């Protein structure tokens, strides 16, 4: 990016972020997730770091959140309440460590300890004690001047009004002691509070942090007392720095003085272990009683910490590691289309790779043209991407304010490789008009030989491509007409390998009806549906002449699937294909009727170790008598067969009131 381009981008980002802030802080409206806004802020600060000459005093990066409210006395902090710079990856932690090392002596580097703690999502507050007595509580405000909220914070039970006298920290009982920490509302209390408000028809609060912040700024302390807030300390400040030699010592002393301190904090000396801690809490944070969006990592030695000083509004010796957010912003570089086995033409997003929820995202489906229009996505747009857990990434929306004018609207191609793209009236999906050529034919053939269909091993993608190229295979049926001589024309085939593949094809000509139906590649018919349909008709003869109305009555087959099956069979060319396959030697065996027995209609979950039966043996007994087995307990589970050391499945079964059998009862029930 050139400097001019950076300047334009910086300007656009500032406008977008300011717009977000105004809506969020003034109008109480949310125009995008905090994660998406953070992502934009991060991009801005990266650009400003690269081009410091472009930083202006009014940039959102230069602003410290919060302003003094009238109604409270303004109080200047003895020492500025700083913020932290955010990092999002191991590489950024490494870069920070590298920067700090340059400012340390070799001896200090060798001894360096990193003190990590959970970063609480609340509001920062400074408490001042004189000779052990609480004299003042002040909000962070702009970092330099905050609001005197002493009357309010005195109602918070976890704030000691006098410091506890204990032998190991009594030095702090004399003179001025400042304790800084976070005021938080616990998740459960927040939920309960909102439930009451909902019942009373009052407006709901947005999140625990906003609620805690709003509460602390109430002018009536009795209202504060009614809301359950907690103070968790993270900093202990004395005029004489030497009295608090390390951050870990500060935590110990704070605990002795009577403060609530996070028990999760830990000292690290190596990066791998620190990153392990990050990974652990990224997942485990869900179980914390309060919200967190990351960790705080500081150099443990306070003399070094102080010496390293401050850049901007953040100490050099500390960072905030932000957990992978589930949303981020990136650039939609292009919109391309992919072609599916059934001819569907699906647009997808090509994105500037962005790290989100722990993985890098560079592609995302856009579903169809209408979706693209509804979300107003243009090629070149900055977009918000969301990825929650294992869910596939999704493009949520575009940020039109960041447009430069060079963005392009996506148009669905009217043809691909000479094949027309059509969109039937009333359908969302565009399709190729001819399914017997090109990419679709290719996908269909791959599907035809795949594991769950004809399962022809030895006929891999490369061989198939060669066969198509040589004109030896056009339709699936051609596979069964291949001879060893044909194959010798292909690269990589010699007499032995050619004979081997022909044998393999011969050996796989016989399939069950369910495999056959699946192999046909009918829209919406996956292997489960194919099995349901096959079990219903039992024979190919019955299936191919089925009355369309019959499909609707099959268990597990819905309207869309039924009409897809009916229209496929109604097509003359498809009936010809079936005939051709049979003439080429394909044998379709009747589908075995599902076993019926004593256990028909029941679903079983096996857990723990049984005294004599193996799991396989028990499953076989169940299936032989018509029952099904499943991996997890749900309301649909009929029985749980439990042995020794059965764990969570058993507990869940108990909770759901599901019948639990031991081996003896099982043997008695099944008569085995």
Residues forming the site for ligand IVH (CB under 6 A):
82-84, 117-120, 124, 182, 234-235, 296, 315, 318, 320
Burial class (CB in 10 A: 0-12, 13-18, 19+), 520: buried
How far is it, in rounded angstroms, from Cα 516 to Cα 611? 42
Catalytic residue (one of 119, 322, 375, 649): 119
Using CA atoms of 518, 521, 526, 527 in order, give the dihedral in degrees to the nearest 10.
20
How many CB atoms are located within 10 Å of the residue 281 CB?
22
Closest contact distance (angstroms) between CB of 395 and ligand IVH is 30
User: Which tokens go with 269?
Assistant: 């000396």
Closest contact distance (angstroms) between CB of 320 and ligand IVH is 5
Cβ closer to ligand IVH: 42 or 508?
42
How far is it, in rounded angstroms, from Cα 538 to Cα 554? 12
Cβ closer to ligand IVH: 68 or 416?
68
Cβ closer to ligand IVH: 76 or 506?
76
Burial class (CB in 10 A: 0-12, 13-18, 19+), 3: exposed
User: Which tokens go with 173?
Assistant: 């009982």
Cβ closer to ligand IVH: 291 or 529?
291
Pairing of strands 318-322, 85-87: parallel
Closest contact distance (angstroms) between CB of 262 and ligand IVH is 6
Q: What is the CA 529 to chain-centroid distance, rounded? A: 30
How far is it, in rounded angstroms, from Cα 625 to Cα 666? 12
Cβ closer to ligand IVH: 320 or 661?
320
Cβ closer to ligand IVH: 184 or 385?
184
C-alpha pair distances (Å), 79 with each of 64, 137, 254, 311:
15, 14, 19, 15
Closest-CA residue to 150 (of 164, 165, 161, 163): 161
Q: What is the CA 376 to chain-centroid distance, rounded? A: 24
How far is it, in rounded angstroms, from Cα 575 to Cα 573? 5
Closest contact distance (angstroms) between CB of 114 and ligand IVH is 13
Cβ closer to ligand IVH: 245 or 541?
245
Please measure the distance between the N-terminal and C-terminal CA atoms of the chain and give it in whole angstroms.
74
Task: Mark out the alpha helices in 477-558 (DSSP H runs).
Answer: 484-488, 495-507, 513-519, 527-537, 540-544, 548-552
How far is it, in rounded angstroms, from Cα 631 to Cα 603? 10
Closest contact distance (angstroms) between CB of 235 and ligand IVH is 6
Closest contact distance (angstroms) between CB of 234 and ligand IVH is 4
Cβ closer to ligand IVH: 84 or 304?
84
Using CA atoms of 155, 156, 159, 162 in order, give the dihedral in degrees to the nearest 10.
20
Cβ closer to ligand IVH: 314 or 661?
314
Q: Identify whether the C-beta of residue 601 lies closer than 8 Å to the C-beta of residue 526.
A: no
Using CA atoms of 333, 338, 344, 345 in order, give the dihedral in degrees to the nearest 10.
40
Closest contact distance (angstroms) between CB of 265 and ligand IVH is 7
Cβ closer to ligand IVH: 303 or 320?
320
Closest contact distance (angstroms) between CB of 341 and ligand IVH is 50
Closest-CA residue to 274 (of 114, 109, 85): 114
Q: Please tell me what DSSP assigns to residue 132.
A: T
Indicate if the alpha-carbon torsion angle 29, 30, 34, 40 is positive or negative. Answer: negative
What is the Cβ-side half-sphere exposure of residue 49, based on CA atoms within 13 angstroms? Answer: 9
Q: Name the residue number minimizing CB distance to ligand IVH.
A: 124
| 286 classed as catalytic | no
Q: What is the CA 214 to chain-centroid distance, rounded? A: 30
Q: Where are the beta strands (DSSP E) in 79-188?
A: 85-87, 114-120, 123-130, 133-139, 145-147, 176-184
Closest contact distance (angstroms) between CB of 315 and ligand IVH is 5
Indicate if the alpha-carbon torsion angle 586, 339, 450, 594 is positive or negative. Answer: negative
User: Which tokens go with 398?
Assistant: 């575009």
Closest contact distance (angstroms) between CB of 241 and ligand IVH is 15
Which residues are identified as catalytic?
119
């Amino acid at each position: 990016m050139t400097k001019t381009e950076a300047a334009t981008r910086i300007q656009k980002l500032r406008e977008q972020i300011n717009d977000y802030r105004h809506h969020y802080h003034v109008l109480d409206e949310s125009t995008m997730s905090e994660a998406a806004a953070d992502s934009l802020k991060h991009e801005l600060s990266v650009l400003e770091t690269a081009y410091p000459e472009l930083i202006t005093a009014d940039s959102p990066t230069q602003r410290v959140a919060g302003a003094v409210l009238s109604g409270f006395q303004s109080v200047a902090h003895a020492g500025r309440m700083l913020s932290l710079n955010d990092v999002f990856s191991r590489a950024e932690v490494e870069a920070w460590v590298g920067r700090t090392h340059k400012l340390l002596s070799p001896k200090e580097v060798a001894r360096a300890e990193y003190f990590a703690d959970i970063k609480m999502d609340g509001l920062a507050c400074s408490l001042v004690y004189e000779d052990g007595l609480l004299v003042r509580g002040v909000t962070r405000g702009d970092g330099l001047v905050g609001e005197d909220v002493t009357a309010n914070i005195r109602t918070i039970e976890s704030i000691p009004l006098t410091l506890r006298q204990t032998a190991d920290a009594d030095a702090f009982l004399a003179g001025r002691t400042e304790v800084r920490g976070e005021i938080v509302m616990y998740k459960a209390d927040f939920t309960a509070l909102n439930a009451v408000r909902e019942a009373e028809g009052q407006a709901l609060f947005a999140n625990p942090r906003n609620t805690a912040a709003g509460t602390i700024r109430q002018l009536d302390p009795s209202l504060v007392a009614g809301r359950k807030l907690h103070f968790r300390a993270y900093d202990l400040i004395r005029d004489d720095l030497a009295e608090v030699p390390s951050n870990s010592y500060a935590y110990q002393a704070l605990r002795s003085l009577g403060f609530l301190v996070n028990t999760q904090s830990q000292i690290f000396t190596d990066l791998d272990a620190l990153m392990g801690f990050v990974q652990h809490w990224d997942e485990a944070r869900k179980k914390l009683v309060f919200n967190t969006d990351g960790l705080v990592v500081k150099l443990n030695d306070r003399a070094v910490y102080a010496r390293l000083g401050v850049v901007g509004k953040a100490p050099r010796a500390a960072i905030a590691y932000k957990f992978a957010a589930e949303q981020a912003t990136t650039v939609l570089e292009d919109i391309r289309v992919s072609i599916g086995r059934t001819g569907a033409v699906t647009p997808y997003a090509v994105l500037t790779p962005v790290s989100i929820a722990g993985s890098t995202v560079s592609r995302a489906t856009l579903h169809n043209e209408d979706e693209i229009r509804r979300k107003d996505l243009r090629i070149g747009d900055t977009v918000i991407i969301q990825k929650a857990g294992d869910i596939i990434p999704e493009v949520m929306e575009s940020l039109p304010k960041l447009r430069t004018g060079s963005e392009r609207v996506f148009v669905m191609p009217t043809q691909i490789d000479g094949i027309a793209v059509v969109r039937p009236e009333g359908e969302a999906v565009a399709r190729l008009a001819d399914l017997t050529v090109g990419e679709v034919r290719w996908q269909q053939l791959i599907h035809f030989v795949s594991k769950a269909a004809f399962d022809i091993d030895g006929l891999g993608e490369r061989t198939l491509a060669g066969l198509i190229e040589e004109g030896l295979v056009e339709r699936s049926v051609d596979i069964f007409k291949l001879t060893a001589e044909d194959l010798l024309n292909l690269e990589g085939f010699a007499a032995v390998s050619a004979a081997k593949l022909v044998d393999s094809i011969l050996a796989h000509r016989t399939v069950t009806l369910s495999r056959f139906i699946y192999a046909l590649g009918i829209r919406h018919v996956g292997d489960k549906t194919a099995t349901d349909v096959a079990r219903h008709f039992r024979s190919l003869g019955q299936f191919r002449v089925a009355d369309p109305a019959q499909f609707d009555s099959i268990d597990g087959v819905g309207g869309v699937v039924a009409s897809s099956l009916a229209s496929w069979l109604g097509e003359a060319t498809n009936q010809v294909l079936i005939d051709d396959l049979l003439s080429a030697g394909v044998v379709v065996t009747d589908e075995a009727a599902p076993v019926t027995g004593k256990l028909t209609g029941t679903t079983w979950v096996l857990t723990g170790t049984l005294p004599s039966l193996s799991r396989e043996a028990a499953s076989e007994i169940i299936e032989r008598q018509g029952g099904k087995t499943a991996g997890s307990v749900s309301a649909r589970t009929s029985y749980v067969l439990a042995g020794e050391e059965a764990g969570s499945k058993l507990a869940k079964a108990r909770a759901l009131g599901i019948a639990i059998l031991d081996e003896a009862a099982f043997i008695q029930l099944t008569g085995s």
